[in-house]
Structure 1
Amino acid sequence: MRNEDSSVQATFNGIARRYDVMNRLMTLGSHQRWCREIATLATSRPGHHYLDLATGTGVIARAIREQRPSGAVIGADFSESMLDVARQLDGNAGIDWQFADAHELPFEDNKFDGVTHGYLLRNVSDLDLVLNEQFRVLKPGGVVAALESSPPSGIFSPVICLGMRVVIPTLGTIIGRDRPAYQYLVDSTLGFLTPEALRRRFELAGFEDVRVKSRFLGTNMIWTARKPG
């Protein structure tokens, strides 16, 4: 594992217990709704096998389970602390929780009908490798659906950036009890690719029909892309 990946892993291990509370606060209660939307998009075509990467506490994985009660759902993360929290929550029947590094997925080619993830891509050290791995494990015609943060753009972007730099670390100090972790969240979001640049990376990995929907003043994006076939 790369040094930068180990640092990110330690960050998420440290905030696992308060992760859901902070997500609700930072998105004004919208996070779970977006996760349900991701699950709906991933299950929009007939299928049985689904992989939720960077599953965290398993919000998207459980939403997929609701959409596909008889489906095989894997919730994978490289934070054991996140997986520990996920395993303790209700609604886990039929979900297989596994440790996995998104850079090197321990799954066979063409296995999954849908791959999902939330806030994964801004945290990886090799974005192209991670997208290539998702392409590899998807069946032809399979869909990736993802929730990702995005640097704000437009006329209000300076105000939004300022708000993020002040509000999120403050919440991280008071509620999350880990200011550096939430300062990292702000820095990784503001330093991440624009939607136009990320679209090109999806396409470079071989995906087609790449679509994006803006949420929460452009700070969050819902992505879908399809493997040809």
Structure 2
Amino acid sequence: MTLDRQPQEKRSEVHGIFEKIAGYYDRMNSVMTLGRHGSWCREVATRAAPGRGGHLLDLATGTGAIALQAARKYPATAVTGADFSGEMLRRARTKPGAGAVRWLQADATRLPFGDGSFDAVTEGYLLRNVQDLEGVLREQHRVLKPGGRLVVLETCPPSGLVKPVVTWGVRVIVPLLGQIVARDRSSYSYLESSTLAFASPERVAGVLREIGFQDIGWRKKFFGTNVILWAVKPD
């Protein structure tokens, strides 16, 4: 979830937030989603379907939730978990099964991999933290092999009849949970604002289509506040 093309001050601020919240990141994800986060990570890994002997890259891996699910589901696949936060990666390396994953500190805007290196790319909550959405997705398109799959777990701005209620909940409850669970209201105030300001699935799908992805789809989760998107790089 690196932000190289953003102003340095903004990049440093966001990097500092993720370094700070690493110790309670998993707990807060579980609390904020009423325990659903783990099942979403399993769905992302399932949809990636890298194939036996393939290579999967999990970007914005954080503490490794999706990467570890992929490694368990596809033991014959080489899984790489990459993140810009060293503290997140340090905690990922301590988890059961972490030895099955290659952990790497990397910049999502300039991935240190050759063209067509991976059969699948997954990511969790990366795109809302970057300024150059198209540039980051182009990098993922570049490192995917023809026929490779991209699967994205992201927050989703509320819409429809429930928008006022959900917006209120995100603005009030997320920072409050940050204060109660993590003793850190300010970091989760940022996450609340980035959730409400992020692009709709329709917009992300449009960018994916412009880049050259096909077979694009998505499924909203948890009152429309989260979404799983998927796409395929053409053969």
TM-score surpassing 0.5?
Answer: yes
Report the counterpart of residue 229 of structure 2 in structure 1: 223
Shift of 1:5: 2.2
The 8 Å contact of residues 112 and 139 in structure 1, kept in 2 or not, is answered as yes
The one-letter amino acid of 2:138's match is: N
**In the alignment, is the contact (CA less than 8 A) between 2:148 and 2:233 conserved in 1?**
yes
Can you list the C-alpha shifts for 1:191-220, whole angstroms capped at 9, x where unaligned?
A: 111111111011122111110001101110
Residues of 2 paired with 1:177 and 1:58: CA distance?
A: 23
Report the counterpart of residue 205 of structure 2 in structure 1: 199
Question: Which SS does the other structure have where 1:88 is aligned?
Answer: coil
Please say if 1:144 is aligned against 2:120: no
Map of 1:29 onto structure 2: 35
Unaligned runs of 5+ in 2: none
CA contact (8 A) 2:50 2:148 kept: no
Deviation at 1:55, TM superposition (A): 0.2
Which of 43, 46, 69 is residue 40 of structure 1 equivalent to? 46
CA deviations on 1:126-168 (whole Å, 9 max, x unpaired) are 1111000000000000000110101010111101110111111
Counterpart residue identity of residue 163, structure 2: S
Kept in 2: contact 1:121–1:127 (CA 8 A) = yes
Runs of 4+ in 1 over 3 A off after TM superposition: 44-47
Hey, what does 1:209 align to over in structure 2?
Answer: 215
Q: State the TM-score, normalized to the length of structure 2.
A: 0.95
Structure 2 residue identity aligned to 1:17: G
1:36-185 matches, cutoff 5 A: 36-43=42-49, 45=51, 48-185=54-191
Aligned length: 229
Secondary structure of 2:182 counterpart: coil
Q: Is the 8 A contact 1:49 1:112 kept in 2?
A: yes
Question: Matches of 1:110 and 1:41 in 2, distance apart?
Answer: 19
Identity of aligned residues (%): 51
Q: Is the 8 A contact 2:158 2:225 kept in 1?
A: yes
Q: Please list the CA deviations of residues 33-82 of structure 1 after superposition, one character each: whole Å capped at 9, or x if unmatched.
A: 00000000001655510000000000100110011112111000000110
Q: 1:12 aligns with which of 7, 18, 22?
A: 18
Shift of 1:176: 1.8
Contact 1:47/1:113, CA 8 A, preserved across alignment = no
Q: Cα 1:143–1:67, aligned 2, differ >3 Å: closer, same or farther? A: same
> Unpaired runs of 5+ in structure 1?
none
